[in-house]
Amino acid sequence: MEEYRPIVKELVRRLLFAPTRIQESLGIVPDQAFARIMCENVQASALATLPVCQDTGIVTFYVGHRRLSDDQLDTLRKMFECEFSTYARPSERVPLIDSYHLGTNQLVYVEEIRGRQGLGAIVSGAGTEMHAYLKVYAGTEDFANIVSDLAEWVKRRGALACPPIHISVAIGGTAAEATREAKIGFLFGDSYPSSFETRAAALRDSLRGVPLDPKGGTQSWLGNVYVRLLPGHISAVPVALSMMCWPFRVEWMDVEIG
């Protein structure tokens, strides 16, 4: 598995020091002085080899492959974990119950991706899907009510992130699949049939209208809104929403694995 080490190193570098999507945040900051400070912080991070955001929280490592064994997957995970831990603070046991460090390494969750070849990762800090929304609606629920609920959640919880923020919504499947797909949306973007475009647009417009302004004003510092639609059951439709704060530490690299 050593042939993948340079790729893993590059993945960690992008996540922590030079997030490739960070311009998607800087480009929507309406305050130029604020934007300049953020740009300077990003440049300082790369020069000093310090994470662009010190909250390195919880990490999920994604592997899309042809035929890796469980042992090989674990080897890749440990490789990523070791490289990431060189710069990141270690994980903690559930702070609500008992807070203490779990050794010197940042513990990393690993997930397999179907239908794709490559490596990816998502850093989940305080302003990300930690503040996720999940609710199961009756299949007969008015879609406008769902949109209203999501907008209210973004208004309540979005202020806890470091704006600008980005949103990913998944509708359908099971509660577990909807939650997972809302997170995956940050990696792979939209996924829905053309017949859903009108409703997806209404959802985006509603969320983008929520005032999220760190200066206490009424401007919306909200960027991308991704929407993913899953096969579902008429009796119950899970709806999940995830947030990604301004560093947008989400990366995917297309590579032949296994």
Q: Shortest CA distance to 223 belongs to which of 240, 248, 202?
A: 248
Q: Residue 215 gets which letter from DSSP?
A: T
Please tell me the distance from the alpha carbon of residue 104 to that of residue 165, in angstroms, as a whole number.
30
Q: What is the pLDDT along the chain (258 residues), one digit of tens a residue?
A: 899 999 999 999 999 999 999 988 988 888 888 889 989 989 999 888 899 988 888 899 999 999 999 999 999 999 999 999 998 887 888 777 777 777 777 889 999 998 999 999 999 988 788 889 999 999 999 999 999 999 999 998 887 788 899 999 999 999 999 999 999 999 999 999 999 999 999 999 999 989 888 777 777 889 999 999 999 998 999 999 999 999 999 999 999 998
Q: Shortest CA distance to 60 belongs to which of 21, 109, 96, 16?
A: 109
Please tell me the distance from the alpha carbon of residue 217 to that of residue 219, in angstroms, as a whole number.
6
Please tell me the distance from the alpha carbon of residue 257 to that of residue 112, in angstroms, as a whole number.
12
DSSP lists the bridge partners of residue 250 as 122
| Integer angstrom CA distances of residue 209 from 23, 151, 156, 174, 197 | 21, 8, 14, 29, 18
Does the pTM surpass 0.95? The reply is no
Residue with token string 């996720």: 132
Backbone angles phi and psi of 238, in degrees to 5: -70, 140
Neighbouring C-beta atoms of residue 5, cutoff 10 Å: 14
DSSP lists the bridge partners of residue 121 as 61, 251
Q: CA angle 205-251-44, nearest 5°?
A: 95
Residue type, 84: F
Alpha helices in 67-174 (DSSP H): 70-85, 143-157
Backbone angles phi and psi of 210, in degrees to 5: -75, 125
Please tell me the distance from the alpha carbon of residue 200 to that of residue 95, in angstroms, as a whole number.
37
Q: Which two tokens stand for residue 42?
A: 């990003």
Alpha helices in 49-174 (DSSP H): 70-85, 143-157
Query: What domains can you pick out in the chain, each with its CATH number?
Result: 2-125+248-254 (no CATH), 129-244 (3.30.1330)
